[in-house]
């Protein structure tokens, strides 16, 4: 039982880190895509 509890906490730590990385990536992608969209809007409005 002790070992399974420790494994569970390790899994929790891992999932927390993965979720954090995922959120960071999502924020970066959102910034990236919004900048691309704004540049496209700018380009097409000037054509």
Q: How far apart are CA 11 and CA 42, in angstroms?
A: 46
- pLDDT greater at residue 47 or residue 39: 39
What Å distances lie between residue 15 and 23, 31, 39, CA to CA? 12, 24, 36
Overall pTM surpassing 0.85 (yes/no): no
What pLDDT does 5 receive? 66
What pLDDT does 6 receive? 63
| Residue the block writes with tokens 């970066």 | 28
């Amino acid at each position: 039982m002790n070992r399974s509890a420790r494994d569970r906490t390790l899994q929790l730590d891992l999932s927390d880190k993965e979720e954090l990385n995922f959120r960071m990536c999502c924020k970066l992608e959102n910034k990236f895509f919004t900048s691309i969209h704004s540049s496209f809007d700018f380009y097409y409005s000037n054509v």
